């Protein structure tokens, strides 16, 4: 069995990733960057450009990315410390049953749905561009099916497939983004930057920060799914910083500038307008595939936990996520439930807040104090639900703060308070319990 894991480490989903199978810091930089070079990042730039002065908007997006980065590092280090994904880490905070019903099932549904949505977006964009630019008519169903299969294959291969694809695609995307911006300047000139500048902002700085944070905070909530492949805390911090900030800010800035000078934030459409649709096609494909393959990969991990599947069925679980996502995309139902999927995603905020408080404050950031709790850890579960309600009231009724940030902050505070009155089973450590915790992290997951 050990030899099987050595030869194909991505057969397994939840067992700790051995140190000798983990990736280099630079390898994971490409994976992190591939997550944020995407159409939504260009869209963020366009939304900000329409409502704020250029550099004020860029600064607000930078702050939003910084908040996302902090959250990603804090949660990501847990994955690197323990070598396990988010759904496995949270077995301490919520118990195994609580994790299955409160964390994994919700994330699995959300990731499955968003995988389908991105398949649809990619398929539609590809079909439209091929028709408009080359006169080749491709049915939307066929286009979505083709790109859904491509994304599925990369996700099923696992982190090695994601790493290889992103190492090739991220540099290519950066080159095309710069070329597209230069060509846009050549076609439209620089006058648009000042002529189309927003004089009076219709979006506050805080609202722009909230928008930026909300766009990518879901990636931070499941950071451990990726960072469990990091060798140590230092590599986790460096890969998160170098993966998120340069790529995210560059994509956002290009989206802002394109919206100013060309009236269009989508670089693929701008490239089509300046006469190089093939480059636009490459942007659509590579940006969508890199981001959405990771959605399917993470969804497979959560599916294993949700249905208590044998741990050596990661590839089959990932294939199932992709299959259902593609079917949903082809039926068109996702257009009616996108709001529902967003709300599920928002539930990640209080879950993340409780996990941070449990590991870093109550557990003092010591990996040796971690161990999973069978059944339910009611303290964590109740605090997460109550925090979600309070976060909603703060944001929607009192108009205070940012919903996702509110959820994280309120959950952290409430969990620390609750621990004083109802101490968690996961943190009462004596010599025997500590030895048990260490042995448990090394124990192979069920592969029956």
Q: What is the pLDDT of residues 79-111, one digit of tens each?
A: 999 999 999 999 999 999 999 988 899 899 989
Whether 202 contacts 57, CB under 8 Å: no
Specify the fold of 28-346. Hydantoin permease (1.10.4160)
Q: What is the pLDDT of residue 308?
A: 93
CA-based torsion, 75, 78, 80, 84: positive or negative: negative
CB atoms within 10 A of CB 282: 17
Domain with CATH 1.10.4160.10 in the chain: 28-346
CB atoms within 10 A of CB 207: 16
Strand runs labelled E in 314-379? none
Q: Who wins on pLDDT, 337 or 173? A: 173
* b/e code 319-330 from CB counts within 10 Å (16+ = b): bbbbebbbebbb
Contacts of 417 (CB under 8 A, 6+ apart): none
Q: What is the pLDDT of residue 341?
A: 67
Evaluate if residue 445 carries a pLDDT over 60.
Answer: no
Report how far apart the first and last C-alpha atoms of the chain are (Å, whole number): 12
Evaluate if residue 436 carries a pLDDT over 80.
Answer: no
Whether 393 contacts 331, CB under 8 Å: no
Q: What is the pLDDT of residue 1?
A: 39
Given pLDDT bands bounded at 50, 70 and 90, which one contains residue 115? Answer: very high
Q: Cα torsion for 407, 412, 414, 418, to the nearest 10°?
A: 140
Evaluate if residue 431 carries a pLDDT over 80.
Answer: no
Given pLDDT bands bounded at 50, 70 and 90, which one contains residue 2? Answer: very low
Q: What is the pLDDT of residue 184?
A: 87
Given pLDDT bands bounded at 50, 70 and 90, which one contains residue 425? Answer: low
CB atoms within 10 A of CB 304: 27
- Average per-residue pLDDT in the chain? 86
Q: Which residue, among 49, 58, 60, has the nearest Cα to 198 in the 3D structure? A: 49
pTM: 0.88
The pLDDT tens digits of the residues spanning 375-386 come to 999 999 999 999
Q: What is the pLDDT of residue 5?
A: 43
């Amino acid at each position: 069995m050990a030899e099987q894991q050595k030869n194909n480490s991505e057969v397994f989903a939840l067992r700790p990733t051995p140190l000798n199978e983990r990736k280099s810091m630079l390898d994971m930089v490409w994976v992190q960057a591939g997550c944020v070079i995407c159409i939504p990042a260009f869209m963020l730039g366009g939304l900000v450009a329409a409502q704020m002065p250029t550099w004020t908007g860029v600064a607000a997006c930078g702050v939003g990315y910084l908040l996302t980065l902090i959250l990603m590092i804090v949660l990501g280090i847990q994955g690197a410390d323990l070598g396990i994904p988010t759904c496995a880490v949270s077995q301490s905070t919520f118990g195994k049953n609580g994790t299955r019903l409160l964390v994994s099932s919700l994330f699995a549904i959300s990731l499955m749905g968003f995988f389908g949505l991105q398949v649809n977006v990619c398929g539609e964009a590809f079909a439209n561009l091929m028709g408009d630019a080359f006169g080749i008519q491709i049915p939307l169903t066929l286009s979505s099916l083709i790109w859904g299969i491509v994304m599925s294959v990369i996700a099923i291969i696992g982190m090695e497939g994601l790493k290889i694809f992103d190492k090739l695609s991220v540099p290519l995307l950066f080159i095309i983004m710069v070329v597209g911006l230069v060509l846009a300047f050549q076609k439209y000139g620089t006058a648009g930057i000042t002529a189309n500048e927003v004089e009076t902002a219709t979006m506050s700085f805080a609202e722009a920060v909230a928008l930026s944070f909300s766009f990518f905070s879901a990636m931070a909530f499941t950071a451990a799914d990726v960072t469990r492949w990091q060798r140590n805390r230092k590599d986790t911090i460096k890969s998160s910083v170098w993966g998120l900030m340069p790529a995210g800010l560059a994509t956002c800035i290009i989206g802002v500038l394109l919206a100013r000078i060309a009236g269009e934030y989508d670089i693929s459409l701008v490239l089509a307008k300046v006469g190089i649709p093939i480059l636009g096609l490459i942007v659509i494909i590579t940006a969508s595939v890199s981001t959405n393959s990771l959605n399917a990969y993470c969804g497979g991990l959560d599916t294993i936990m949700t249905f208590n599947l044998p741990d050596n069925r990661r590839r089959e679980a990932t294939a199932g996520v992709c299959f259902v996502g593609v079917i949903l995309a082809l039926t068109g139902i996702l257009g009616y439930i996108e709001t529902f999927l967003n709300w599920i995603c928002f539930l990640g905020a209080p879950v993340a807040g409780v996990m941070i408080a449990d590991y870093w404050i109550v557990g003092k950031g010591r990996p040796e104090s971690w161990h999973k709790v069978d059944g339910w850890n009611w303290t964590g579960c109740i605090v997460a639900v109550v925090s979600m309600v309070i976060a909603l009231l703060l944001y929607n009724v009192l108009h205070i703060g940012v919903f996702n940030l509110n959820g994280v902050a309120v959950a952290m505070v409430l969990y620390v308070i609750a621990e004083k009155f109802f101490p968690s089973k996961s943190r009462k450590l004596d010599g025997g319990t500590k030895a048990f915790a260490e042995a448990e992290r090394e124990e192979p997951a069920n592969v029956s």
